[in-house]
Structure 1
């Protein structure tokens, strides 16, 4: 693999706690710890800041981020990036699972 193959990133976006009022979000997080943040986990081939802006502007956006997204949380993902597409696709799922297991209320990550 060349360096050009490592251009995908996983990312985590802090969501307003109000997202947890949605039954669909609660169903995904039965073991949630209400003292931990609500987050969205995704992956992209774009710079993560650009992807966050796309979400907020309604372009290929998750409704949870468009309505409740506050900021990126690089402390939860920067150390993982960049990586090849296949690794990012798997890492998105693994990171969402790991954060959910720690009590975060997680959307995305599929």
Structure 2
């Protein structure tokens, strides 16, 4: 196993959103090809542990509005394999993960 460098502390994460988020016009516009059998999610990146970042969203600290209002839980099965990583890699992986999930039919919000 490669040795982890101290700067490799960034993470991507995915939050399951309540299906009620579909009632938000901006979310619907961002996901015209959403497969209703797939969940709606938020994809983010952080220098914190994803559990702590989710707790901060839910407490309203630097929170995404959809996570604050509709966040249910983290979905580590969709992101754990990628973490941790350097900042630049996390920035890129956030976008790539969001695109991949959207192409797979998920409803995705990524800010």
Please say whether Structure 1 and Structure 2 have the same fold, judged by a TM-score greater than 0.5: yes
In which range does the TM-score fall when normalised by the shorter chain?
over 0.9
Q: Does 1:21 align with 2:31?
A: no
Match for residue 85 of structure 1? 87
CA–CA distance in structure 2, aligned partners of residues 86 and 101 of structure 1: 23
TM-score if structure 1 supplies the norm length? 0.96
TM-score if structure 2 supplies the norm length? 0.95
Q: Which sections of structure 1, spanning at least 5 residues, go unmatched?
A: none
* CA RMSD between the two structures: 1.2
CA–CA distance in structure 1, aligned partners of residues 85 and 71 of structure 2: 24
Q: Which sections of structure 2, spanning at least 5 residues, go unmatched?
A: none
Q: Which runs of 4+ in 1 moved over 2 A?
A: none
Pairs aligned (count) = 109
Aligned-pair distance for 1:78?
0.2
Match for residue 101 of structure 2? 99
